[in-house]
Structure 1
Amino acid sequence: MSKSKKWAAAAAIALVLVVPVGVKLARGKQVKDVETEKVVLRAPSPSILASGTLVYESQVTLVPEIIARVNEVLVKEGDAVRKGQLLIRLEDESPRAETLQLQASLRQSELQVERQRVNLEALTVRAKRYAELRRHDLVEPTKYDEMQAQVDLAAVELRTGRETVKQAQAQLRQAQDRLAKTEIHAPIDGKVTLVSIKPGETAVPAAVSIAGSTLMTIADTRSTFAEINVDETDVARLSKGQGVRIVPAAFPDRAFRGRVEQVAMAPKQNPGQSRSYPVRVKLENEGLPFHPGMSCRAEIAVSQSGEAKNPGVPVQAVHYESSEGRDDKTRAFVFVMDNRRAVRRPVEIGLADDTFIEVTRGLKTGETVITGPAKTLRFLSDGEAVRSQDRAEARDSHQKGGKPS
């Protein structure tokens, strides 16, 4: 092999050995851009998650009380109605004819009672005369007894006639009530949320849901609520007035704010599920899309007593190591910004909510922890050079499409 070839081979070997080392050293000196945040005292607010449905404060379903054909439906879905307003007219020919017939029957009974009263008064006068004649022995005893019996019989007939009048009056009231039920009026102020029947269909009173058994639904839309189900393991942490965040399934990017108004005393048992307690949440938002019966999820803030005693950091700033043994405690750590380097710091953690986690040991207020970005944190090593950017500034920069400086 010639001398020039030997030198070429040696240079190639040197490149293979030296270049990777140089690349590694260059990488070690690369500065990574990170988001940071100052450590301050925080009191995390753990929350309870639950699901349920949206409802109005009060809702009334109107049902027919007589069998009749629908003549008119005077409102439509979405209309606002006032208490007592006429909503539906049912066919009233038969109840009206019955009412007129019973009114005539009542008048006849009243006339009969008047005749019986006049007859009793006349017999009473004659009986008094017979009594005077009998006192002077001018009339036979049997004649006097017969007259007295006629008076007693007339009195009984008058009482019977008066009872007949009462019976006719009761029948007339029943007929008038049936006639009144051919007009359906609004029982509350509210909005028509559902019309279940059309003109020409037959309204049928029934205990089960069949065609014609419901007419319409009216709801008081001035107040809206969420009825959620909270697991029995969490219900002890609930109390009236706690803040709740409600997110409808149809509008995941919008939320209702509310407060716990009532927690049920008794649980309900669902087949194949654990027991849960119904919780009623009064919503405070106005102008948001609302459809009763819409499913929703709820996040109930569990208030903490006392002031913040320990430092708190964003949840994404805490990392975990897998434990060696089954019974070993999971070890947590954070990266602290120290002299422009990421220093790994073991910590002990406490309570947490959706945003922050409490650090009971390992951090002091005023220190700077590295909070992101997530892709940088995933591969960050102890001692690496980093360039800090405040978390809020980084968020604004990303929203504007810029890069950290």
Structure 2
Amino acid sequence: MNKKISIVIALVLAAGAIIFFVKNKTVAVVKHQTNKVEQGAISSSFYTAGTLAYRNQARLSAELVAKVTHIYVQEGQTVEQGQELIKLDDSSVKAEISQMEAQVARGDIEIRRARSDMEQKRTEWLRQSELTARGMVSKQALDLALSALDNAKFQLESNEKNALQNVAALLQKQKLLEKTIIRSPIQGVVIAIPIKVGETAVASAVSLAGSSLMTIADPSSMVVEAQIAEFDIARIKLGQTAAMTTRAVPNETFMGKVTRIARSVSNDSKAPNDNKTVRTVAVQIELATSHPQFVSGMSCDLSLIEGAQAKTLLIPLTALRVDEISTDNFSGVKRRDYYVWQVKNGRVVKQMLEIGYADEYRQEVRKGLTLGDEIISGPAAFLEKLRDGQALPEVDVR
């Protein structure tokens, strides 16, 4: 019985100690942080992601259906303009050329025969004309001779046109024979060979198996392509300076300029056609220098510089506060008023600002503060509890 009483007393004492501790727990306070308005340089940038791509590349395809017999290069190999890359089977084309050569030769024979026949008919017509003039033959015999001459002329002209068609067909087959050799249209690097020896090349503009033989790219023409949301595209200008970084070369920044801004939004057939869908505009940045590690399709980070000030007033970005004030109850449009908490004679003053450029850590102030003014920059919980005109306190942020 005494043991049970002792346990109860111990529990009561423990509960009382917990209640006492909670009631008398020390209130946590946070000391404020202050900074003075400084002077310096600042630049504002628009940050987005991009993809590396070759501006100058050629996708090679065949102009006839034929098997691949030879591939003379490998992926990653540098090639010269006009260099032979792939050989297609030319046996059927050569057979057609032989057939057309025979037709051309036969056409020449027919032309010579028709020309000889025409000369005979002309001689006969002249003879009939002379006899008719002497009254030795009738006018009907002369007409028959003239008709035979006209027919001979027509046959000659017909044979000559057929011969021209045969020659044209032969030239076309000879050009087709040249196309069984695939040459590089540019100087560059082989970046893809989707076909193998023994497979059939297909003359097609669509993505069928065999329609793509090889892709050649100029590595010095590397550019960055980015998709900018339509509501941010006004921040992008032609000639705008950009800085690019990529994980492939993590310790180096590559500079470039915006060289192309699409005049239409990107076509995404999967995106719903409504006003809530965020559409994008394609932007291209040309780099001043490239790097051997760059590969088409590689992701990168972009910083597009919007503006800069060489000498201006600066405050920590953490000190900047904003009030959103509704200007129209129907449209929901809000005005954003910026301010900081300034320290004056030991009191907190709400100081309205006109701001300019900002970077990751600092904010430019154009109106509202002067060099050396003291402002409160944090912590955030402390700033939330401040009131205009109050004495500078230590604020409970529990």
- Mapping of 1:128-207 within 5 angstroms? 128-207=126-205
Query: Aligned pair 1:276/2:280, yes or no?
Result: yes
Tell me the equivalent position of 1:39. Answer: 38
Shift in Å, 1:290? 0.9
Q: Give CA deviations for 1:199-254 in whole Å, capped at 9, x if unaligned.
A: 11111223432321210001122222111122222222322211112233655554
What residue number does 1:313 align with? 315
3-state SS of 1:198 partner: coil
Cα 1:262–1:108 shift into 2, 3 Å: same
Deviations 1:61-111 (A, max 9, x none): 111221111111111112222222211000111101110110111011011
State the match for 1:245 in structure 2.
243
Matched position secondary structure for 1:357: strand
1:52 pairs with one of 50, 66, 73: 50
Return the letter of the residue paired with 1:164: N
Output the amino acid matched with 1:278: A
> CA 1:159–1:344 in 2, change beyond 3 Å: closer, same or farther?
same
Distance 1:78 1:179 in 2: 28
Correspondence for 1:264 among 262, 265, 284: 262
d(CA) in 1 for partners of 2:201, 2:167? 28
Which residue number in structure 2 is paired with residue 296 of structure 1?
Answer: 300
Question: Aligned partners of 1:369, 1:327: CA distance in 2, in Å?
Answer: 24
The one-letter code of the counterpart of 2:371 is T
TM-score normalised by the chain length of structure 2: 0.73
In 1, distance between residues paired with 2:336 and 2:219? 55
Q: Pick closer, same or farther for the CA change 1:298–1:320 going to 2, 3 Å.
A: same
Q: 1:291 is matched by which residue type in structure 2?
A: V
- Superposition deviation, residue 351 in structure 1: 2.7
Partner of 2:218: 220
Moved more, 135-144 or 92-101: 135-144
Q: CA deviation at 1:348?
A: 4.1
CA contact (8 A) 1:39 1:369 kept: no
Q: Secondary structure at the match of 2:100?
A: helix
1:113 and 1:35 map into 2 onto residues whose CA distance is 104
Distance 1:328 1:372 in 2: 21
**How does 1:317-396 map onto structure 2 within 5 Å?**
318=319, 332-333=340-341, 347-349=351-353, 350-355=355-360, 356-360=362-366, 363-366=369-372
Moved more, 172-181 or 94-103: 172-181
Is the contact made by 2:340 and 2:376 (CA closer than 8 Å) also made in structure 1?
no
For 1:359, give the aligned amino acid. Answer: V
CA contact (8 A) 2:220 2:290 kept: no
Are the equivalent residues in 1 in contact too, given 2:314–2:364 (CA < 8 A)?
A: yes
Asked if the contact 2:342/2:374 (under 8 Å) is kept, the reply is no
Given that 1:57 and 1:221 are in contact with CA atoms closer than 8 Å, whether structure 2 keeps it comes out as no
Question: Alpha-carbon deviation of 1:283?
Answer: 0.7
TM-score of the superposed pair, with normalisation by structure 1: 0.72
Q: Secondary structure at the residue paired with 1:302?
A: strand
CA separation of 1:178 and 1:200: change in aligned 2, threshold 3 A = same
Given the alignment, which residue of 93, 97, 100 partners 1:99?
Answer: 97
* Cross-structure match for 1:114: 112
Find the counterpart in structure 1 of residue 79 from structure 2: 81
Contact 2:82-2:184 at 8 Å conserved across structures: yes
Secondary structure of 1:303's aligned partner: strand
Structure 1 pair 230/351, CA: closer, same or farther in 2 (3 Å)? Answer: same
Structure 1 gaps, min length 5? 1-27, 385-405
Amino acid in structure 1 at the alignment position of 2:117: N
Q: Which residue of 2 aligns with 1:16?
A: none
Aligned to 2:388: none
Q: How many residues align?
A: 345
Provide the C-alpha distance between the structure 2 equivalents of 1:315 and 1:288, rounded to a whole number of angstroms: 38
The aligned counterpart of 1:396 is none
The code of the aligned residue for 2:254 comes to F
Deviates more, 1:275-284 or 1:246-255: 246-255
Distance in 1, Cα, partners of 2:66 & 2:371: 77
**Residue 265 of structure 1: SS of its match in structure 2?**
strand
DSSP 3-state at the match of 1:197? coil
Secondary structure at the counterpart of residue 222 of structure 1 = helix
- The answer to whether the Cα contact below 8 Å between 1:36 and 1:372 also exists between their aligned partners in 2 is no
Give the C-alpha shift of residue 278 in structure 1.
1.3
Distance 1:214 1:334, change over 3 A: farther
* CA distance, structure 2, for counterparts of residue 191 and residue 262 of structure 1: 25
Q: For the aligned residues, what is the CA RMSD?
A: 4.0
Match for 1:61 among 59, 62, 69? 59
Query: Residues of 1 paired with 2:34 and 2:101: CA distance?
Result: 89
Relative distance call for 1:77 and 1:334 in structure 2 (3 A) is: farther
CA contact (8 A) 1:319 1:334 kept: no
Name stretches of at least 5 consecutive residues in structure 2 with no aligned partner: 1-29, 325-333, 384-391
Q: Which residue of 2 aligns with 1:397?
A: none
Query: Quick one: distance in 2 between partners of 1:70 and 1:137?
Result: 76
Selected match of 2:289 from 285, 288, 294: 285
Letter in 2 for 1:292: S
Provide the secondary structure at the position in 2 that maps to 1:138.
Answer: coil
Aligned partners of 1:60 and 1:217 also within 8 Å: yes
- CA separation of 1:327/1:53 partners in 2, compared to 1, >3 Å: closer, same or farther? closer
Kept after mapping to 2: 8 A contact 1:37/1:371: no
Q: Does 1:72 align with 2:70?
A: yes
Could you tell me which amino acid in structure 2 is paired with residue 353 of structure 1? A
